[in-house]
């Protein structure tokens, strides 16, 4: 496990664990850490031995947001070179990403959690968008992500107020899918990721992630037509046959890696 620019990762049984680990800043992100996070996820996407990814934080925080030292100094005349493609990388990699929110999750960290496909949280973990209370705006695409997760009204509440809310509130809002005691959180997230890595076809998961991204704003009929095309295409890939055979033979599937 190598630590570089505040991000470390390891791989076991088809599941990668990516950990924010910058203890001197409580896992707050600077530009180098943002960049490293995106680079790690892209490398894991290219690793055919990895079928699912868990993102979490070391210590008591997930990520409290951007390192405010970056904003406290003199802002360059041309502005800051924000690492948008790296921050949003979990949404675009072709593998499922599960955020295991172990503690404080704010601002930029909140965005990163929302770009994940699934969110688990530790009981009592604190969340906040924080932007309005720092004189900022809804950054890195959260203005689109959050309404899709919790609805427009709740998204407006959380963005405009910048109030702090708990993992239990987040579960009620539909922002997180499961809440676990802190000591059980990572194990639960890894167990879920391992189930995906074992029983779900990598190609199927990659295609479905792309469908969710591409079809959110198109008419239902068009979405159905696209699905019909994709379904016929899927019949030409080995996953389809293996999925049926494994079911009939009552055994775990042996799906090929994707991309091959």
pLDDT tens digits along 19-55:
999 999 999 999 999 999 999 999 999 999 999 999 9
Low-confidence ranges of the chain (pLDDT < 50): none
Rounded to the nearest 10 degrees, what angle do helices 108-115 and 142-150 cross at? 60
Same domain for 46 and 81: yes
Per-residue pLDDT at 4: 82
CATH code for the domain in which residue 186 is found: 3.90.226.10
> Side-chain half-sphere of 149: how many Cα atoms within 13 Å?
26
- 184 occurs within a structural domain: yes
Q: What is the 3 state secondary structure string of the chain?
A: CEEECCEEEEEECCEEEEEECCHHHCCCECHHHHHHHHHHHHHHHHCCCCCEEEEEECCCEEECCECCHHHHCCCCCCCCCCCHHHHCHHHHCCCCEEEEECCEEECHHHHHHHHCCEEEEECCCEEECCHHHHCCCCCCCHHHHHHHHHCHHHHHHHHHHCCCEEHHHHHHHCCCCEEECHHHHHHHHHHHHHHHHHHCCHHHHHHHHHHHHHHCCCCHHHHHHHHHHHHHHHCCCHHHHHHHHHHHCCCCCCCCCCCC
Per-residue pLDDT at 79: 66
Residue 243 lies in domain: 201-248
Report the length, in residues, of the chain: 260
Same domain for 237 and 140: no
Domain-ending residue, one of 197, 218, 234 = 197
Same domain for 33 and 75: yes
Per-residue pLDDT at 78: 64
Question: Which tokens is 259 given?
Answer: 């991309």
Same domain for 47 and 145: yes
Same domain for 37 and 19: yes
Q: Are 3 and 21 in contact (CB under 8 A)?
A: yes
Same domain for 136 and 215: no
Same domain for 173 and 69: yes
Same domain for 35 and 128: yes
Domains contained in the chain, number: 2
What phi, psi does 113 have (nearest 5°)?
-60, -40
Same domain for 223 and 127: no
Same domain for 144 and 32: yes
Same domain for 103 and 50: yes
| Total-model pTM | 0.93
Q: Are 194 and 52 in contact (CB under 8 A)?
A: yes
- 258 occurs within a structural domain: no
């Amino acid at each position: 496990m190598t630590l570089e620019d505040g991000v470390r990762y390891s791989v076991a049984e088809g599941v990668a664990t990516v950990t924010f680990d910058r203890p001197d800043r409580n896992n707050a992100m600077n530009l180098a850490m943002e960049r490293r996070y995106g680079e790690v996820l892209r490398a894991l996407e290219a690793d055919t031995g990895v079928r699912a990814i868990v993102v979490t934080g070391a210590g008591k925080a997930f990520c409290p947001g951007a390192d405010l030292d970056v904003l406290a100094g003199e802002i360059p005349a041309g502005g800051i070179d924000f690492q948008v493609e790296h921050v949003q990388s979990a949404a675009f990699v072709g593998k499922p990403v599960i955020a295991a929110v172990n503690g404080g999750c704010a601002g930029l960290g909140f965005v990163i959690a929302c770009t994940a496909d699934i969110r688990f949280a530790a009981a009592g973990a604190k969340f906040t968008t924080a932007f309005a209370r720092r004189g900022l705006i809804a950054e890195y695409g959260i203005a689109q992500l959050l309404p899709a997760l919790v609805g427009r009204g709740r998204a407006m509440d959380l963005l405009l107020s910048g109030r702090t809310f708990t993992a239990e509130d987040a579960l009620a809002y539909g922002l997180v899918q499961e809440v676990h005691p802190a000591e059980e959180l990572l194990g639960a997230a890894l167990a879920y990721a391992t189930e995906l890595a074992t029983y779900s076809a990598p190609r199927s998961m990659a295609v479905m992630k792309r469908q969710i991204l591409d079809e959110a704003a198109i008419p239902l009929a068009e979405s159905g037509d696209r699905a019909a095309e994709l379904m016929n295409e899927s019949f030409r890939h080995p996953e389809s046959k293996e999925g049926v055979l494994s079911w009939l033979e009552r055994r775990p599937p042996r799906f090929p890696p994707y991309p091959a």
